[in-house]
Amino acid sequence: MPCGTAPTRVSRWSRHACSSDRRQTFLVDPLNEVHLPPHRLSVAPMLEWTDRHCRYFLRQISRHALLYTEMVTTGAVLRGDRERLLGFDPAEKPLALQLGGSDPATLAESTRIAEAMNYDEVNLNVGCPSDRVQNGRFGACLMAEPKLVADCIAAMQAATRLPVTVKTRIGIDERDSYQELAHFVDTVALAGCNTFIIHARKAWLQGLSPKENREIPPLRYDVARQLKRDFPHLVIVLNGGIQNLAEARAHLEHFDGVMIGRAAYHDPYILAEADSQIFGDEHAVPTRHEILHTLLPYVERQLSQGVRLQSISRHILGLFHGTPGGRRWRRHISENAHKAGAGIDVLKRAEELCGPHG
């Protein structure tokens, strides 16, 4: 529901006004034509997956989907190799940096760095359930401390003009009532957060691995829909279990945006029609072969800078997924990209093995 439109249902939580200076970022083309906001469709931040090579590849498939970095901790931002951890090609934009942390001061400083590096958004991770993340006091365990999260968001907002967003679950352990979720969102929204990405599963902080936490807790889209009804003024983006654009379009009947995760990594070509179906961009849908050919100059540049082919090729194994030659493509790259001196000839030969129609 757009800002300024009277909600059809008013709850005790629906009382915040739309912020005049924390609105969603909109895409603008060179002709100043405004498109739908990028949160309409985004690709989830995924540790060890959505690095700069993965994001550049995905950008060849969709011009408009919002992309996210892997989660980067505030300690790594402030003390690590900044170019290696945060550097990106401008072609990857629109691009959001996901931060992991719970100290308002270091999150604020990390946010200032993100703005200086020309990111489009900063996202706070309040959804990762891994033991390592919990030990650092960030991720899903922060759902138990809504006031602390609000303090973090307030500090981040004060440090930047960029949108600051939160990615979270619908609950943790036994603290999974709707009232607790609504209280969390209400508290954080009062601190200035306008956009919440809701992974529609609870997280078990003890007893389940991160992988199991993505699969065992049941999806509760109904809970996320209730959240949108109770907070119509907030941007609510749905995440969790979305497999294709048909499902994404169906969810857009109820939410402001959808975020696709593993499905977009394992079968990236599902994003090929996103620009037309989700964003109304009528540019021709690229073929798999065209996507590969637009990627090859980037691969050559990276190889010339000392990057190993496998660091890039591992992200494109799914490009021909579901096609007659898909297995040959995947097998040839898997068997050859790791070898010393491997170059783009490996990719070209893999393409030949696919045949003209993939």
Kindly list the catalytic residues: 128
Place of tokens 């961009």: 281
How many other β-carbons are positioned within 10 Å of the β-carbon of residue 65?
23
The span from the CA of 160 to the CA of 163, in Å, is 8
C-alpha torsion 269→352→314→49, nearest 10? -10
Q: Which residue has the tokens 């050559």?
A: 300
| Token pair belonging to 107 | 């999150």
CA 355, CA 336: separation in Å to the nearest integer? Answer: 19
The answer to whether 288 and 358 are in contact (CB under 8 A) is yes
3-state SS assignment for residue 160: coil
Distance CA 264, CA 295 (A): 17
How many Cα atoms sit within 13 Å of 283 on the Cβ side? 14
Among 204, 45, 184, 205, smallest CA distance to 135 is for 205
How far apart (Å, rounded) are the C-alpha atoms in residues 134 and 138? Answer: 6
* DSSP summary character for residue 126: E
